[in-house]
A and B are shown apart, each in its own frame.
Chain A
Amino acid sequence: MNGGLTYTERMRRHFPWITLVSALLLVGMTDINFLSPENLLNLATDIVPLLVMAVGMTLVIYIGSIDLSSQSIANMATVLTTISLPALGVGSGLLVIAAGLLFGAISGVVTARLKVPSFISTLAVGGIALSVGQFASGQQALHMDAEQRKHAFGWIMGTTAGIPHELIVALAIVAVAWFIQNRMTAGRTFKAIGAAEPVVVASGIRVERYKILAFALSGMFAAIAGLMFSVRLSGGSPTLAEGFLLPAIVAVLVGGTPLTGGVGGVTNTLIGTMIVAVVRSSMLYLNIPATGQQIFFGLVLIVAIATTIDRSKLRIVK
């Protein structure tokens, strides 16, 4: 029995992967080399930081909120990693993860306890994170010492059987997020909050705590994204991750997690991120300048939101 599910509703679930396959085929038709394994592998590796950020973002959108601080937290993370690398070595990774958790948790507290809408609380926290990055870096690009980088994070950089470790790490992170979402009480609660928050309250669950947790995790994933990006580029700067935010939100929404939350999840975001990657590289094939990409993503974002949100959950939009 699948009750009142209409045809379009059932199709909507399959929409993300159909989009991905069609996009791949479309670009493949203009240039068959695009579909070669090496190219696809490069494509996938290229978007690893975006994927990690989008996975974190997914958890927040899953509960029906939004996190606009991810890019700034990632920026801050690139700076903090680079600065602390000489002193802490691999511990610099733990430092930025902790920083990400902290900044995310602040967004969560402001949203859940002070009842500030998440788009504004995370915008504010993002502003703080950006400034921390600017202050710590002295407004300039910093570089890692090659030897130190190799010693601390060399394991991320290598390849095994032709597969970059970066990609493996990213997939492991997706797997962890998937486990949290599908197999842990926290993930179940996130889903319930997104689906029907009043029910969760009336079931005696402390909703605020779980909201804070979702934001904290999102902050942490953003920091990991920044960490991986800075290791890849061997340096940090308060603007290094510029241009990540919009594609990350697009990846989540195109993947099939609507802004109203409750459905979708990290596997959807995995597909959504790949769609973003394919679309982005297809622009290179079609000779669209990089500066024009954000125009495109902005438009896609509007379409993706408009077609996926559950309007029955929105009484008033301000």
Chain B
Amino acid sequence: MFELQNVEKRYPGVHVLKGVDLKIGDGEIIGLVGENGAGKSTLMKIIYGAVQHDAGNVLVDGVPVHFRTPRDAMQMGVGMVYQEQSLISNLTVMENIFLGFEKPFIRFGAINWKRMSEAARKQLRKVKLDINPATITSRLTFSQRQLVELAKVLALEERVDGKLVILLDEPTSVLSKDEIELLFSLVRELRRRASFIFVSHRLDEIIDLSDRIYVLKDGAVVDVISADEAQIETIQKKMVGREINREYYRENRQIPYNKDDVLLELDHVTVAGRENDVSLKLHAGEVLALVGVEGSGREPILRTIFGMRKPEKGTVSIRGMTVRSFSASQSVSHGVGYIPRERKIEGIASGMNVFENMTLSQMKNYSKGGMLDIAAERELARDWIRRLSIKVASENVDCGNLSGGNQQKVVLAKWRSGGSEIILLDHPTRGLDIGAKEDVYEMVRDMSVDGVGIILVADTLEEAIGLSHTIAVIKDGEIRKWFNCQPGAKPSLYDLIQHMV
């Protein structure tokens, strides 16, 4: 039996897990659900030893344990089947299965491949995979690799005393219907060997497979539901569980956009690696939210519009002009600005000051013959520090030392001051506190008033609903449903989730 008692985790400025209790009996399958940012992934990481909790206890068969690394956890029978597959693709299947645990096969310093192969075959039988263990992993299909990964975790069985606990992180997201069925029947069969924690956005699957369902919200378990009694709608309500506050998203400032002024059009665009096509239109003053679960294909659409990916088919046109060469610099010169999700990696150059960051995308406007007009740069920075009330001592401060909210304002100022008319917001409020979020909402409204078209991938569904004029629900890389979001007639969360999962 595996148990978490009152587990706490804090990161600087955020309380991620607030006293989580969780219990898994032998052979039990539990489901774990929650919105993005509810603390699911942190909780999983604590369970499999990638992250250490600050307070509370982790008990295996009633005995407190402390996992410092995933290897510690594996030695106590806790293993993870990763969503991003963790197999090393240029090694063979058996090498992957026993990676880091080759010791029993070593004689006189050399690996006895025959014995390893036999042992690997035995593990593969557990997951009903009939392949040669000496196959190079990259030759396998995605679902085969997932089963190998499961076999790798099941190989712990022979090494530990107690029962196994296996985490499945979104295991179905890229599987076909048949493959999902196969995986589920396998998991059910394996119950006598292990208990499972199953994380998924697809609530129907969660209800189908699990015995009990833990609902996580804002870092706490809000309910534990027995799967027999569970219904998709009730779980959804518990996952979200708060009122939409109209004022919070500045809905009173939402004004209709100009339907004749098309800034951007995607016509049957196929994004590399996916078989789908996306068509959409963005108008001046419109906020268009792309809504979907993690991995549904929202980011690739944004990156295609920004020119960082080249579409395989279809046309992108900006202000009626077809885009022919795809590069970020082309898009920027056509007035597209991109506020990336990874602010610290792609958004802010730490080690550079406020004005250097603001003019990075528009140095042409602040130079003559390659020579910078630093006085004008400073002037611009001071102006925008005032306009967005950025909290800095001066324009000379290193942006790496600013708070997340102020960094985001600098990134916004960079594109706004450069006159970008199409702004792509990728999780613009991620990791910001409430005050900073409200500032961002205010800026979104300001931009709409100025006729800027915005494509938004929001941090939460409420944010998408609250801010947008139009919502496109995306699933498996395709737009499944359009919603109109006029104030007073906004769709509900439940309307959206139906089409997302």
* B363 with A188: CB separation less than 8 A: yes
* B329 with A195: CB separation less than 8 A: no
A202–B331 alpha-carbon span in the complex (Å): 10
Please, which residue of chain A has its CB at the minimum distance from the CB of B332? A204
CB-defined interface of B473-488 with A at 8 Å, one 1/0 digit per residue? 0000000000000000
In the complex, which residues of chain B have a beta carbon less than 8 angstroms from the beta carbon of A188?
356, 360, 363, 372
**Is the CB of A189 closer than 8 A to any CB of chain B?**
yes
* B370 with A200: CB separation less than 8 A: no
A199–B397 alpha-carbon span in the complex (Å): 18
Interface segment, one of B75-83, B225-233, B339-347, B428-436? B339-347
**Is the CB of A57 closer than 8 A to any CB of chain B?**
no
Chain A interface residue number, banded: 20 to 34
* B397 with A1: CB separation less than 8 A: yes
In the complex, which residues of chain B have a beta carbon less than 8 angstroms from the beta carbon of A287?
none
* B327 with A192: CB separation less than 8 A: no
Which of B346, B364, B374 has the largest number of chain A CB atoms within 10 A? B346
Provided the pairs A192-B349, A199-B347, A263-B351 are in contact, do residues A204 and B363 lie with their beta carbons within 8 angstroms? no
**Is the CB of A236 closer than 8 A to any CB of chain B?**
no
**Is the CB of B132 closer than 8 A to any CB of chain A?**
no
* A205 with B360: CB separation less than 8 A: yes
**Is the CB of B89 closer than 8 A to any CB of chain A?**
no
CB interface residues, A 9-60, toward B, < 8 Å: none
**Is the CB of B20 closer than 8 A to any CB of chain A?**
no
Given B372, B393, B414, which contacts A185 in the complex, CB threshold below 8 Å?
A: B372
In the complex, which residues of chain B have a beta carbon less than 8 angstroms from the beta carbon of A5?
401
Given B370, B397, B400, B414, which contacts A203 in the complex, CB threshold below 8 Å?
A: B414
Given A192, A204, A263, which contacts B356 in the complex, CB threshold below 8 Å?
A: A192
* B346 with A202: CB separation less than 8 A: yes
**Is the CB of B289 closer than 8 A to any CB of chain A?**
no
In the complex, which residues of chain A have a beta carbon less than 8 angstroms from the beta carbon of B330?
204
Given A2, A186, A192, A199, which contacts B401 in the complex, CB threshold below 8 Å?
A: A2
A199–B338 alpha-carbon span in the complex (Å): 11
In the complex, which residues of chain B have a beta carbon less than 8 angstroms from the beta carbon of A3?
397-398, 400-402
**Is the CB of A295 closer than 8 A to any CB of chain B?**
no
* B327 with A203: CB separation less than 8 A: no
**Is the CB of A4 closer than 8 A to any CB of chain B?**
yes
* A191 with B352: CB separation less than 8 A: yes
Provided the pairs A1-B393, A203-B332 are in contact, do residues A184 and B349 lie with their beta carbons within 8 angstroms? no
**Is the CB of A183 closer than 8 A to any CB of chain B?**
yes
In the complex, which residues of chain A have a beta carbon less than 8 angstroms from the beta carbon of B402?
3
Looking at the assembled complex, report how far the CB atom of A268 sits from the nearest CB atom of chain B, in whole angstroms: 15
Looking at the assembled complex, report how far the CB atom of A79 sits from the nearest CB atom of chain B, in whole angstroms: 33
* A199 with B346: CB separation less than 8 A: yes
Given B361, B374, B393, which contacts A205 in the complex, CB threshold below 8 Å?
A: B361
CB-defined interface of A193-226 with B at 8 Å, one 1/0 digit per residue? 0011011111111100000000000000000000
Provided the pairs A1-B392, A184-B370 are in contact, do residues A202 and B347 lie with their beta carbons within 8 angstroms? yes
A186–B308 alpha-carbon span in the complex (Å): 22
Looking at the assembled complex, report how far the CB atom of B451 sits from the nearest CB atom of chain A, in whole angstroms: 21
In the complex, which residues of chain B have a beta carbon less than 8 angstroms from the beta carbon of A192?
349, 352, 356, 360
In the complex, which residues of chain B have a beta carbon less than 8 angstroms from the beta carbon of A126?
none
CB-defined interface of A259-276 with B at 8 Å, one 1/0 digit per residue? 000110000000000000
* B360 with A185: CB separation less than 8 A: no
**Is the CB of B350 closer than 8 A to any CB of chain A?**
yes
Looking at the assembled complex, report how far the CB atom of B371 sits from the nearest CB atom of chain A, in whole angstroms: 6
Looking at the assembled complex, report how far the CB atom of B313 sits from the nearest CB atom of chain A, in whole angstroms: 24
In the complex, which residues of chain A have a beta carbon less than 8 angstroms from the beta carbon of B85?
none
A206–B327 alpha-carbon span in the complex (Å): 9
* B329 with A204: CB separation less than 8 A: yes
A205–B333 alpha-carbon span in the complex (Å): 10
Please, which residue of chain A has its CB at the minimum distance from the CB of B328? A204
A182–B370 alpha-carbon span in the complex (Å): 11
A199–B348 alpha-carbon span in the complex (Å): 6
CB-defined interface of B209-225 with A at 8 Å, one 1/0 digit per residue? 00000000000000000
Provided the pairs A192-B356, A199-B360 are in contact, do residues A184 and B351 lie with their beta carbons within 8 angstroms? no
In the complex, which residues of chain B have a beta carbon less than 8 angstroms from the beta carbon of A183?
371-372, 374
A2–B397 alpha-carbon span in the complex (Å): 7
**Is the CB of B367 closer than 8 A to any CB of chain A?**
yes
* A196 with B349: CB separation less than 8 A: yes
A205–B363 alpha-carbon span in the complex (Å): 10
* B393 with A200: CB separation less than 8 A: no
Looking at the assembled complex, report how far the CB atom of B404 sits from the nearest CB atom of chain A, in whole angstroms: 13
In the complex, which residues of chain B have a beta carbon less than 8 angstroms from the beta carbon of A263?
351
A205–B338 alpha-carbon span in the complex (Å): 13
* A204 with B397: CB separation less than 8 A: no
* A200 with B350: CB separation less than 8 A: no
In the complex, which residues of chain B have a beta carbon less than 8 angstroms from the beta carbon of A200?
349, 360
In the complex, which residues of chain A have a beta carbon less than 8 angstroms from the beta carbon of B372?
183-185, 188
Please, which residue of chain B has its CB at the minimum distance from the CB of A202? B346
Looking at the assembled complex, report how far the CB atom of A318 sits from the nearest CB atom of chain B, in whole angstroms: 15
Provided the pairs A192-B349, A199-B360 are in contact, do residues A206 and B329 lie with their beta carbons within 8 angstroms? yes
In the complex, which residues of chain A have a beta carbon less than 8 angstroms from the beta carbon of B360?
188, 192, 199-200, 203, 205
6 A–B contacts from the bound complex (CB under 8 Å): A183-B372, A184-B370, A191-B356, A198-B346, A201-B308, A262-B351
Q: Report which B residues bind A (CB closer than 8 A).
A: 306, 308, 327-333, 338, 340, 342, 345-352, 356, 360-361, 363-364, 367, 370-372, 374, 392-393, 397-398, 400-402, 414
Q: Report which A residues bind B (CB closer than 8 A).
A: 1-5, 183-186, 188-189, 191-192, 195-196, 198-206, 262-263
